[in-house]
Amino acid sequence: MKSIFQPYDATREQIDQRVRDILSTEPDRDHLPLIKRQLVEFLDLTTLEGSDTRQRIVQLCEKALRMRDETLDRLSVAAVCVYSPFVTVARNTLADSGIKVACATGGFPSGQLPLPLKCQEIRYALDQGADEIDTVISRGKLLEGNENEVYDEIVAIRGICHGKVLKIILETGELATVQLIRKASELALMAGADFIKTSTGKIQPAATEQAVLIMLDAIKEFAQTTGKQAGIKPAGGIQQPDQAMRYYRLVRHIMGDAWLNPRLFRIGASRLADQLWNDLKARLE
């Protein structure tokens, strides 16, 4: 596997400074309502708990449907993300709504599963009707320096996700250096990821602005080199609109307005949806 990327020698201090510079100015307040509406459309409304039940999944899907139906222009989240046993429940509840069913699967969240079993679990989710797959890389293999194995696993998973959106989770909180986050991003992009995603939400730190900036740099170089567009998904710990707004501003600054759509920008969250929805409803009253 030969890299198509140029060497990336940014330091942690340089990344921190770039984040500060990009976020140093406040957005025009007149545009905030429009941005918050966009943020709703970028959401993967998520529940990934061991205590999940069919009833909880139905309630989550019904929340997504209510958010759509209570707006004049049918404002909608991008997807509902669940574990594989609940894909059919979500698909049936969301039927014909246009809201996608995403599934966290394939050894999620640890990634510590043999590749044949990862693929089997992913096939199960697809057979149940998942539109999108969120799956995590084998961080242990990356930390051991087995980059080719990480790449080959993603290629194999890409091969079974025919026509489906594939989001590759890097779990950046377990990648301690700028170079590791960058390398994981490069491997996922070259192997065919439609999105690269920060985190499972199961460890701390989860999404960080610094990790997202590094990932966006890789996505930008990938687009410039290959002409192919890949998306970004911050996930984990994003609960307030102001937090989501900061990721929005990073994406807009580095990638431009062309990336500000659900095909290329998602945010994995649950509580954030309530906050955004309450803000929007308050403006309608």
Nearest to 128 by CA among 181, 98, 164, 88: 88
Is 134 designated active site? yes
Residues, the chain, total?
A: 285
- Among residues 134, 141, 167, 217, the one annotated as catalytic is 134
Nearest to 230 by CA among 272, 176, 170, 178: 170
Query: Which phi and psi (to 5°) does residue 103 adopt?
Result: -130, 125
Nearest to 219 by CA among 180, 240, 263, 188: 188
Cα–Cα distances in Å, from 92 out to 24, 58, 61, 242? Answer: 45, 9, 10, 33
How is 244-268 classified by DSSP, letter by letter? Answer: HHHHHHHHHHHH-GGG-STTTB-EE
Is 197 designated active site? yes
Is 233 designated active site? yes
- Among residues 141, 164, 197, 217, the one annotated as catalytic is 197
- Among residues 36, 167, 183, 233, the one annotated as catalytic is 233
Q: How many CB atoms lie within 10 A of CB 42?
A: 26
Catalytic residues: 134, 197, 233
